[in-house]
Structure 1
Amino acid sequence: MRTKEKIVQAEYILPFVLITSCFALWGFANDITNPMVEAFSRIFNMGVGGGTWVQVVFYGGYGAMAFPAAFYIRKYSYKSGILMGLGLYATGALLFIPANAIGQYYPFLIAYFVMTCGLSFLETSANPYILFMGADKTATRRLNLAQAFNPMGSLTGMFVAKTFIQARLDPRGAEERALLSPEQFETVKSHDLDILSSPYVAIGGVIIAVFLIILLTKMPRNEESSHDLNLWEALKNLLRVPRYYEGVVAQLFYVGAQIMCWTFIVQYGQRIFMEQFGMTAGDAAQKAQAYNIVAMACFLVFRFICTFLLKYIRPGRLLMILSVGAIALSLGAIFLHDIRGLYCLVGISACMSLMFPTIYGIALRGMGEDAKFGAAGLIMSIVGGTFLPKIQAYIIDRETILSLPAVNVSFLIPLICFVVIGIYGYRTFTIHYYAD
């Protein structure tokens, strides 16, 4: 049904613009980092499993800080939570300077963890804040609009990863690096770490500037709220709503699927371009990342298309339809072992475009003040990005399974995720009955 309600009311325009910019900033962080699994694997001569520790600590920071962030914003304000998030984000990015000087893997993991503790604060604060910037009936559309700027940051992160990191790293793969002397290996590693660290240090400076702008901007008074910290009462209220706790589960599987599709597309394409086109490991990784950028462009375009479709199609129904599409394309990625499989993997991003903000909006609609803790539960579900990619990486490292490329078989894990999301979409419009 078409609605005449404004998506964003006039008094919220400036705060909406400023907070929406944060969506792009954490999109940048997410998608400059996903390709670093392959980069760190090469730099430190580890398997894919070793490289995925980047994802474990990156998304582990979300889980570790989600409820502390909820307590913080409940006690103070959304603006305070956003400023804390930006401060931790900038600190983590600038920690790449000492990590690079040390030259070991683990200091980089610490930097990622601090950075994503900041992202957890940002997402826990910004998502419910956007929901409240207008009528309840338009909350899901409003969040989809704000979230549409997230893939713009993601595209920028992917472009920076491809152009300023992957294209400039030493192109030698694991086997060639293993033949280097210890001195040669250290020289190559130092060179590559310098290249990898520079964009993170630069984004740290950008985050400091955004921090100052938001600090000096007056936010609406109604972002201030009750300081009552009755967590147990809020949790009891939330757990009475199946639409909420099922949404947390769906979000966990969605985040895992998103990270797996955008991380391991590099390994997926790398196999195709090395085996079928004779490229080197470095060139093949760059080529695969170009397809990842195309996937993100599809994600961005379809985010706007799906936001428009939400005016006419119930959120749960559209969520289910796109889940079915993602399942079909996942099957193509598994069973097609040439460039067609890569096309299917790119297409999955179009289906994913609606999922995160729609699950979020469905789960939190009508929660009122409890949405702050509810938001923390949904952000904590981002821990799906820690263990699900680790499982997929374990499969990929086996190289072949039943004479099939293991990287193709590994996309059974995202397929299962989309089944769970589809079930949530179906239950939303048939059992929980949700409509904008």
Structure 2
Amino acid sequence: MPTQRYSYTAITLHWLIALLLAFQIALGWALEGNNTPELFARYQLHKSIGITILLLSLARLAVRLWAPRPPASEGPAWTRALAGTVHWLFYLVMILGPVTGWLLVSTARVQVPTLLYGILPWPHLPVGHGWHEPAESIHGAMAWLAIGLFLLHIAGALRHQWLLGKPELQRMIPFARGKAAGAAIGALALVLAAFAAGNMAYPDKGRSAAEKPAPRLAATSTPPATPVALEEKATETDEAEAGPDETSQPLADWTVASGGRLGFTARWNDEAVDGRFSRWRAAIRFSPDELAKSDIRVTVDLASADTGDGQRDDSLKSSDFFDTSAHPNATFTARDVRHLGGDRYEARGSLDLRGVSKPATLRFTLRIDGDKARVAGTARIDRTAFGVGQGEWAATDAIAAGVDIDFSFSAMRPAS
């Protein structure tokens, strides 16, 4: 006798894909709005769900082709043809939709790598940018086709079950060998819950950018005061003119010890995003008694930017931000070092970033103990002055123009 129910494998794959499709369609509608951390997270989840649907759909297609299944429902030829068309179009949507999304990611101007659920790397397709626009059009069409097929599929199942009195839902709904009404209602509720979950995934944590107050970091290249200077404003006093009260120290080349920090803080939708550069080097010739002859040069490997999110870090390397393929390093050079009083100093120079050179100032505290020194300081730059943030990222409503820099390190000079 022919089988009367689908296999447990087919049933499991059917409902997993159904729930993921409902979630994915709703999530796709939420991929709009300002460039916020929540929107970025939604995109990453959308990619992960899409690849999951692709893999499950290929498995489901293999089961359909090779595993036994119940015979097709009896009825007029047009209804059987429509049912067959809906099923095969579903396979088209479930496979072509994720594939075109994969093409979109692979041909995007900003090459953001895909990490499935933030864990498993997924490669880009080796195709040219010319595939981008066709893939975008087909991907959008697949979304609308999926919605139409969903409605047709549900309507057809309900028609067979209750209008025609054919117990076909029992063949696919788990634990529905008898009356299927309760199981059908439960299954429909699960699909609706998956749709609602997709619409609420990663909700924006605040108001829209237009409703938010101005970012706290102003678009200016004027550096903020250091933590010490917040307690006591630096002024051009006799103390500052006098220089440090120390034994005369000769000009020396200082060697930066390992373990130093060079960090940065940007604001994305008024939320702090902290990062650091893991590779940088400094050439420092300095003496508190010979500031006129002192100079500082710091070179930063921009590809070493680390914000704790690999996909965001790779975006920073792209042509929209640091463009590390063309400009791998940023360099700060200062030959104007001034004493502000006590252990507070200021280094005025220029920052060369992304092929643009602009004036920049660092303020720092310096404590020298014998041949060892401890340095900590801050600066602020305007990223837009250097072209960091192109296209949609050039605006400052989502990512503020001002970026805070902080650094701390120890250094040694040759023994006297």
Larger fraction in helix: 1
TM-score by structure 1 length? 0.20
TM-score by structure 2 length? 0.21
Structure number with the bigger relative contact order (C-alpha 8 A, sep ≥ 6) is 1
Pair member with larger Rg: 2
Larger fraction in strand: 2
